[in-house]
Structure 1
């Protein structure tokens, strides 16, 4: 079922969101200082293209640098990427079939706003509501 949902998602929203994240990542990688933001954008783009069966969790080892980076990300890229998610969710919600995809799109907004200090994992590992990061 996850594969079918991911294929439908890719056709109607995933490709365009992936393209948005890739453009943001390339822009961030042009400047040497913002390469970590570009890597985060590429990571989120891969999540946005194939989201079903995966989830975003907080990394327990994220520190102050991630928090400061998230503030900068929020200002320069997060708002624009969140807007892309809202616009795509609105377009998907017009049809009854697209409502679950619109909801999934809205659930990606927190990761788009503050991606540093997050980790993308398979949902199967998160079956009991928590996930222990292997060390």
Structure 2
């Protein structure tokens, strides 16, 4: 079932979302300061490409991860989180779109706290 969900996900916007995260990573990597944030965007991009059957575990990020998460949240993380929350709500309006809305809610968590998050 996860395979079918991922194929439908790719056809109806998953590729676009993954490309958007990847492009955000490229833009962040242009500056030296943005490289750690860009790397997180690349990780999230691969997760967004094939999300069904995977879970996010917000875990140990230490002091450095805490500082990076705070910077991430203040500078651009809240935009990613809000975008995924709104998209998730729109998908959840229909019964057919609920599984896709749930995936966007997972991405909203990553939009808030990407450092230290593990994707299984």
TM-score, normalised with respect to structure 1? 0.80
Tell me the distance in 1 between the aligned counterparts of 2:7 and 2:24: 24
Equivalences for residues 1-135 of structure 1 within 5 A? 1-60=1-60, 62-121=61-120
Tell me the distance in 1 between the aligned counterparts of 2:76 and 2:31: 14
How many residues get paired? 120
Q: Secondary structure at the match of 1:11?
A: helix
Q: What displacement does 1:59 show?
A: 4.0
Q: What displacement does 1:94 show?
A: 4.0
Mapped contact 1:20–1:81 kept (Cα < 8 A): no
Alignment deviations for residues 63-99 of structure 1 (CA, whole Å, 9 cap, x no partner): 1010000011112221111122123223423432112
User: CA 1:48–1:85 in structure 2 vs 1: closer, same or farther (change >3 Å)?
Assistant: same
Mapped contact 1:21–1:81 kept (Cα < 8 A): no
Tell me the distance in 2 between the aligned counterparts of 1:99 and 1:13: 15
Q: What displacement does 1:26 show?
A: 1.1
Q: Secondary structure at the match of 1:54?
A: coil
